[in-house]
Structure 1
Amino acid sequence: MNGTDILSSSGLRPEAFRGRVSAVVLGVSAGGVEALSFLLPLLPRTFRPALLIVLHIPPERPSLLVDIFAPRCALPVREAQDKEPVKPGTVYFAPPDYHLMVDTGPTLSLSVDEPVHYSRPSIDVLFESAAYIYGARLAAIILTGANEDGARGLAAVRAAGGVTLVQSPETAHMPVMPAAALAQGPADFVLPLAQLAQVLGELGAASKA
């Protein structure tokens, strides 16, 4: 499969979504470092949307995600800070033991509300808040993981008119999370990681002249 063979569930090619997406939210759990190590370095410096990521990590020790990914990525990579304005073309990781949300502005917001699906940060919390702020200008991605976090959030993005992408469960390191997301309803793109990377690149490109 190459880029010209990829179609959404509604029959649209990925380039049809160019210029529409202002932000991308991504949720991943077990197997996530490996998946992101493949995906993030493929994003070019010209990638336009902000990319907000929740990766389930243990809350009791500092995150090393910025240290791991910043040297590998063309885009700036940072840990999200409370009340920070969302900047285009920037990768934000949720800090350990805080929910990451999007607020009016758009700005980032951190919360110590109760865990969701035993997780803080929670994918659902990020996706639902971002869907409220961005609506149809949002894209959401669910990758490998071992629980159901993100299924409800992806449904919220779909209901708001956003673009939804899910790693095909049979290709995921842990299929539970993508399968749970798809059980809530269809996604625009259900693909292996390499093809999801192609679609994401199209979503993040500038509109055609």
Structure 2
Amino acid sequence: MTFRRLSLLGLLALLLPVAAAAQAPVAGSDYVVIEGGQRWTPEPGTVEVVEVFAYACGHCDRFQSMLAAWARTAGDDVRVHYLPAAYDPGNAYARAYFALEALGRVAELHPRLFDAIHREGSLPARGASVAEVATFLAGEGLDRSAVTAAMSAPATDEKMNAAREFAMRSGLQGTPTLIINGKYRVQGCSLGDSLRIAEGLIAMERAVPR
């Protein structure tokens, strides 16, 4: 009995590294290397995870709570950034996100915009105007004129342009998409798989000498 037990333990010890290796992200299938990729927000000593999203995207809506929960356990060195897919300079939802950043209200109101579109129907899925979004956010406790000003500010114009360039440089093909350290575009077969791949890429980046 003792011999059999030791043999089984030995077999498990041999199999565990194999299982771990099987989970390692594979270039070309799990992720794409972004040639000349750059981080969205340079911050030495950290690993950056950017989620490129769209408020009208149903998959992004489902991913929002998953990513938020995952981020809480990802590690102190991981920085998660949300980035709207800003291909259209007039996209009111993308501008609303940057306005929330400027007003310091992303944490509370980023999820509320998803709720308004996908559960409450208080905002349209497509073609929302600046006035409609500003009115909704005013109902959430923000000053309507401050929201309107932030959505139309030159700083927001700059961020819209920078977000578009980041998405194009990353080879964005849809939302939600995770970009790790500006170097890797995750290609998960499901939302959960995207997080698994992100974890593997974070481990790879942590192993790079700094």
TM-score class, shorter-chain normalisation, is 0.3 to 0.5
Greater relative contact order structure (CA < 8 Å, 6+ sep): 2
Higher strand share: 1
How does the TM-score come out when normalised to structure 2?
0.35
TM-score by length of 1: 0.35
Bigger helix share: 2
